[in-house]
Amino acid sequence: MAEVIDGKAVAADVIAKVTSASGVLAASKNVTPGLAVIIVGEDPASQVYVAAKSRTAKECGFNSLQHTLPADVSEAYLMDLIEVLNLDPAIHGILVQLPLPGHIDAGKVIQAIAPEKDVDGFHFVNVGKLGTGEVDTAFVPCTPAGSMLLIERVHGKDLSGLNAVVVGRSNIVGKPMANLLLAANATVTVAHSRTKNLPELCRGADILVAAVGRPEMIRGEWVKRGTTVIDVGINRVAAPEKGNGKNRLIGDVAYAEAADHAGAITPVPGGVGPMTIALLMANTLTSAYLASSLPRPQF
Ligand SMILES: Nc1nc2c(c(=O)[nH]1)N[C@@H](CN(C=O)c1ccc(C(=O)N[C@@H](CCC(=O)O)C(=O)O)cc1)CN2
């Protein structure tokens, strides 16, 4: 049976380090990290995530400002707000919760954020740094950065000689994840919906990252004995056993089957999800350190 990788515990560890480093910044430079979170509309899952971000930011000793905008807000209004936040020296991190309503061009909005405040790591400057191996000077997207810390707990920092398969090629997870694994010397394959012989490909993985957004798509027999399985999927499905209208979260991996084969596996919930929030705090703190001419803290 696989070791269960406790994302909640590792996230708590990161948050404790961020809180302590935030105290050092306040004492030495009289600076409080400022995080601005923008949410557009009333998507229930986004509301849960944004509330968790604001709550955790406060726990870390940050100033947390939430901008809640109506679903029909204009793109121009959002762009103006980002410009104001870009110019505000008390704000070190700006985050626009995704997804955005269809009438807003998310790409354009993300590129309007100043790269040095882009704590989501989605701006072309940060994407380019990561893609060219400049990991130490980039803001790295929070979910893949958190997943790497979980992988590090199992394999250490150097993944030389290990085959990693990333299933999914999104800009938020799949592509940055592949770049991080490459930067750690893994041999990386990125698979997606058009990939042939996916089960066979997955069976070659020492590290298997599932980020497809399809509930339980990765089956137990796709997992080689001893593989480390990182499940990034968060899928809400009906749970009639819990009562009428209730639901539950499941990953992109069929957990019980995969746990029989894997060496280590992340659960859903309680695996990668909490790491996303923790790494957002780490990125915001890093931004505040850099703005105060201090070296990047390490996590
Ligand atoms: N601007 C961004 N938008 C979105 C991102 C992102 O990184 N930046 N990622 C996702 C959602 N997300 C953060 O925003 C996120 C998802 C899940 C969790 C989490 O802690 N999940 C828990 C379960 C929580 C629940 O009950 O729903 C877990 O897996 O244990 C945190 C953040 C899309 N948008």
Residues 181-240: pLDDT tens digits? 999 999 999 999 999 999 999 999 999 999 999 999 999 999 999 999 999 999 999 999
What is the Cα–Cα distance from 128 to 136, expressed in whole angstroms?
12
Known binding residue 151? Answer is: no
Known binding residue 169? Answer is: yes
Centre of ligand 1 from the C-alpha of residue 203, in Å: 28
Centre of ligand 1 from the C-alpha of residue 56, in Å: 13
Q: Which domains does the chain have, with CATH numbers?
A: 29-115 (3.40.50.10860), 141-273 (3.40.50.720)
Centre of ligand 1 from the C-alpha of residue 212, in Å: 15
User: Residue 210's pLDDT is what?
Assistant: 98
Per annotation, catalytic residue among 17, 117, 120, 252: 120
Per annotation, catalytic residue among 17, 97, 129, 252: 97
88 tagged catalytic = no
From 44, 42, 25, 43, select the one nearest 33 (Cα to Cα).
Answer: 25
Mean pLDDT by 10 residues, the chain (299 residues): 97 98 98 98 96 98 98 98 98 98 98 98 98 94 98 98 98 98 98 96 98 98 98 96 92 98 98 98 98 95
Please name the residue whose Cα sits nearest to atom 16 of ligand 1: 273
Centre of ligand 1 from the C-alpha of residue 293, in Å: 31
Q: Using only the alpha carbons of the chain, give its radius of gyration.
A: 19
User: Residue 234's pLDDT is what?
Assistant: 97
What is the Cα–Cα distance from 101 to 82, expressed in whole angstroms?
17
Please name the residue whose Cα sits nearest to atom 11 of ligand 1: 49
From 3, 11, 1, 6, select the one nearest 277 (Cα to Cα).
Answer: 11
User: Residue 299's pLDDT is what?
Assistant: 85
Please name the residue whose Cα sits nearest to atom 34 of ligand 1: 98
Indicate whether this model's pTM tops 0.95: yes
Give the C-alpha distances (Å, rounded to integers) separating 278 from 120, 123, 194, 201, 275: 12, 20, 33, 31, 5
User: Residue 7's pLDDT is what?
Assistant: 98
Q: Tens digit of pLDDT for each residue in 230-264?
A: 999 999 999 998 988 899 999 999 999 999 999 99
120 tagged catalytic = yes
Give the C-alpha distances (Å, rounded to integers) separating 172 from 72, 74, 91, 177: 25, 24, 23, 9
Q: Which ligand 1 atom lies nearest to the CA of residue 8?
A: 30
